[in-house]
């Protein structure tokens, strides 16, 4: 008889120890909005449920279990089940995960409006850096380069530029050409279908088309307005420059 009672009480104790309760709860965001479709996992049993559209869930478990809450776009959260959670709802707040936004380079074309194009193509920080770098570069003397002209095209200027009276220019055409190549970048010209090896030749072609640069050479300074003026001259000359290459 005593043996039967022992087995009976052991069985009752075993049932109480392994009894499964149901845990109820609600999941909200940082701004207290209900979050639907959150996956709730009981790590001990691997049981999985999803929250409804109001953020509520129900999952079997017991005190001591650990629940995991998973939702795309939110940080993963774990929470231990206590005795109080068996008799009262579990309230969980999910924190939004920090999203890394890929840097996108937006290439803006020339609109023809000097005010807009100056801001788009020559941000103040870029201009300041260029002027700082060029101050070092301009302290060095440039060697003259003579480029052969194409048949029927201009004859490239030679020498160190022109002087008027006692005024000595701080730049020559070669200095200005190097500035334009550096400031605009080779990609600016290759995007216009100008071969990289012909960039200097093309710049001289624009110069020969009547581009006014006397004050630029005199003072050794190219303003943002001068740079925009050169870009407009490029658009006017690039078609005639490419024409001999396309003709058969």
> Domain holding 63: CATH number?
2.60.40.1120
In this prediction, residue 247 carries a pLDDT of 45
The reply to whether 145 and 215 lie within a common domain is yes
Please give the mean pLDDT across all residues of the chain: 77
Whether 8 is covered by a domain: the verdict is: no
pLDDT band for position 15 (cuts 50, 70, 90): very low
Whether 4 is covered by a domain: the verdict is: no
The reply to whether 171 and 122 lie within a common domain is yes
d(CA 234, CA 228): 10
The residue out of 62, 93, 124 marking a domain boundary is 93
Per-residue pLDDT tens over the stretch 64-78: 999 999 998 899 999
The percentage of residues in the chain with a pLDDT greater than 90, rounded to a whole number, is: 40
Q: The whole model's pTM is what?
A: 0.36
Whether 11 is covered by a domain: the verdict is: no
Domain with 75, as residue range(s), is 23-93
The reply to whether 67 and 156 lie within a common domain is no
What sign results for the dihedral spanned by CA atoms 230, 231, 236, 238?
positive
pLDDT band for position 53 (cuts 50, 70, 90): very high
Whether 107 is covered by a domain: the verdict is: no
The reply to whether 239 and 118 lie within a common domain is yes
Per-residue pLDDT tens over the stretch 101-156: 555 455 555 555 555 655 665 556 666 666 677 666 666 555 544 445 555 455 55
d(CA 61, CA 72): 24
Whether 17 is covered by a domain: the verdict is: no
CB environment 135-152: b (16+ within 10 A), e (fewer): eeebeeeeeeeebeeeee
Contact at 8 Å (CB) between 40 and 59? yes
In this prediction, residue 244 carries a pLDDT of 55
């Amino acid at each position: 008889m005593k043996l039967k009672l022992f087995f009976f009480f052991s069985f009752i104790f075993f049932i109480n120890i392994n009894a499964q309760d149901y845990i109820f709860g609600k999941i909200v965001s940082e701004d207290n909005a209900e979050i639907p479709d959150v996956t709730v996992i009981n790590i001990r049993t691997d049981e999985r449920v999803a929250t409804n559209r109001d953020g509520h869930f129900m999952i079997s478990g017991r005190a001591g279990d650990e629940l995991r809450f998973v939702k795309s776009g939110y940080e993963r959260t774990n929470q231990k089940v206590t005795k109080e959670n068996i008799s009262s709802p579990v309230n969980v707040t999910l924190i939004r995960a920090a999203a890394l936004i890929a840097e996108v380079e937006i290439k803006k074309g020339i609109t023809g409006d000097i005010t807009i194009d100056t801001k788009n193509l020559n941000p103040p920080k870029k201009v300041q850096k260029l002027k700082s770098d060029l101050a070092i570069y301009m302290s060095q003397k440039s060697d003259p380069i003579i480029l052969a002209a194409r048949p029927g095209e201009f004859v490239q200027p030679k020498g160190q530029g022109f002087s008027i009276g006692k005024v000595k220019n701080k730049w020559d055409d070669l200095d200005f050409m190097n500035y334009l190549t550096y400031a605009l970048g080779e990609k600016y010209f290759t995007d216009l279908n100008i071969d990289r090896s012909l960039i200097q030749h093309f710049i001289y072609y624009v110069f020969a088309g009547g581009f006014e640069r006397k004050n630029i050479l005199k003072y050794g300074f190219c303003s943002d307005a001068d740079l925009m003026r050169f870009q407009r001259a490029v658009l006017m000359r690039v078609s005639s420059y490419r024409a001999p290459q396309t003709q058969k």
